[in-house]
Chain A
């Protein structure tokens, strides 16, 4: 069994069937790119993986165990635990405007560690300070790794779109998710800023970071991915290595989509 196995995901909104049986698998450390035209269900798939939407049908396996089954009812607490296996970087960043870049990265980690400590008994001021210091150290390293050591004390409104998205990436990494998802991380950016974000994502690639990237940047997808999925109308129309999908697409739909995206460039 692969590291991540997604089986037969169905999702509809009212009468609109958006996902119509999506299955794929991914090995640890692999990068999967998902391409496809607007409305094909890419965002919905990522949202299902992060439990922001509840799939109508489908099973997720992670690390050899069943993580989620649409037939099982989970309470808020269970869903929260499951969510931590996945991270999500949004198209529109969604940074917290009232916190500095650093605090954006540490916030969830602080809350999580204090909650854990509280389970063991009363948390003293000193213990809290220790947790904060520890998380600050982690956050500083992460922010430096995406090239933002100079901007840690800045508020999101003081950062460019590209910098904001890199903060969002550091924020998602702070919780060390097993699988990190990106939903068109550069679509909201001016063209001259996409490069810095794509480079940052590329540098994250390592043997133990599994990533799923929805993107319209074909060149990027081609170079960074181990596996590419082309989605059309709520199903996986084609899947393969970047060479297979980009250079020798089998499906006529894939061919048409790629031809069109080249036209745009």
Chain B
């Protein structure tokens, strides 16, 4: 049974992976920009971004997905034709906001002393960030980032609500076309999510171990 539909489910899972990977590619750097913005000394920018992050974190991702997908059409703008594009935009922005909060916490947790030590050694702000602060921040935020990443794997399933053929959507389609039990099919998808998240967990543990050569 499982093997009969395995190939078709894999196709769905590929789309899931695509959402996952593209979201990270966008959200990891964008989150850093948002984090710097929310820490900016330029107050209007700061409050604008703090407000934006509050809205994004305070509303369901599914709602944001619908707004990105159908919103432009409703107000007379050209609609987002490809639901995949809408998905990546919504996910990218949503996760960038979550990441920005983690980054901000990580950056602020590095003591002023580290920055000042760099300054009195004549280093530039850029050098201090990249040579001293960044590594320590990455190490601090690895655990919360791994949590968010695992959440993202599961969140990709929301894209099925706007007809993106990801794993859950694909399971639905297969169930209909093979006249199979939908619940059984959903349980099959769980295998994909579980294995992939298991691999991610192992990967994150490895990185964490690698970076733990010094105590805090």
A231: interface (CB < 8 Å): no
- Contact between chains at A94 and B116 (CB < 8 Å): yes
Chain B, range 111-163, C-beta contacts under 8 Å to A: 111, 113-114, 116-125, 127, 131-132, 135-136, 139
- Contact between chains at A157 and B215 (CB < 8 Å): yes
- What are the residues of chain A within 8 A of B131 when measuring CB–CB? 107, 111
With A92-B113, A94-B114, A96-B114 in contact, do A50 and B216 touch (Cβ < 8 Å)? no
With A155-B214, A157-B215 in contact, do A108 and B121 touch (Cβ < 8 Å)? yes
Chain A, range 90-122, C-beta contacts under 8 Å to B: 90, 92, 94-98, 107-108, 111-112
Nearest Cβ in chain A — how far from B115, in angstroms? 9
Interface size on A, residues (CB 8 A): 28
- Contact between chains at A84 and B114 (CB < 8 Å): no
With A94-B113, A94-B114 in contact, do A83 and B119 touch (Cβ < 8 Å)? yes
With A94-B114, A98-B136, A157-B215 in contact, do A171 and B119 touch (Cβ < 8 Å)? no
- What are the residues of chain B within 8 A of A76 when measuring CB–CB? 124-125
Determine which residue in A50, A92, A108, A155 has the highest number of CB atoms from chain B within 10 A of its CB, and name it.
A108
Determine which residue in B117, B118, B131, B216 has the highest number of CB atoms from chain A within 10 A of its CB, and name it.
B117
Q: A90 vs B123: C-alpha distance in the bound complex, in angstroms?
A: 16
Q: CB within 8 A of A97: which of B120, B121, B127, B136?
A: B136
CB-based nearest B residue for A108: B121
Determine which residue in B113, B114, B121, B127 has the highest number of CB atoms from chain A within 10 A of its CB, and name it.
B121
Nearest Cβ in chain A — how far from B129, in angstroms? 13
Interface size on B, residues (CB 8 A): 23
- Contact between chains at A88 and B120 (CB < 8 Å): yes
CB-based nearest B residue for A51: B119
Nearest Cβ in chain A — how far from B202, in angstroms? 24
Determine which residue in B122, B132, B139 has the highest number of CB atoms from chain A within 10 A of its CB, and name it.
B122
Nearest Cβ in chain B — how far from A126, in angstroms? 22
- Contact between chains at A108 and B122 (CB < 8 Å): yes
A138: interface (CB < 8 Å): no
- Contact between chains at A83 and B113 (CB < 8 Å): no
- What are the residues of chain B within 8 A of A51 when measuring CB–CB? 119
CB-based nearest A residue for B211: A98
- What are the residues of chain B within 8 A of A50 when measuring CB–CB? 119-120
Q: A60 vs B214: C-alpha distance in the bound complex, in angstroms?
A: 40
Q: CB within 8 A of B213: which of A83, A87, A111, A155?
A: A155
A156: interface (CB < 8 Å): yes
Q: 5 closest A-B pairs (Cβ-Cβ)?
A: A108-B121, A94-B117, A94-B113, A157-B215, A88-B120
Q: List the interface of chain B (C-beta within 8 A of A).
A: 111, 113-114, 116-125, 127, 131-132, 135-136, 139, 213-216
Q: Could you give 23 example pairs across A and B, Cβ below 8 Å?
A: A51-B119, A52-B116, A52-B120, A81-B122, A83-B122, A84-B122, A86-B120, A87-B120, A90-B113, A92-B113, A95-B117, A97-B136, A97-B214, A98-B135, A98-B214, A107-B121, A107-B131, A108-B118, A108-B122, A108-B123, A111-B127, A157-B215, A175-B122
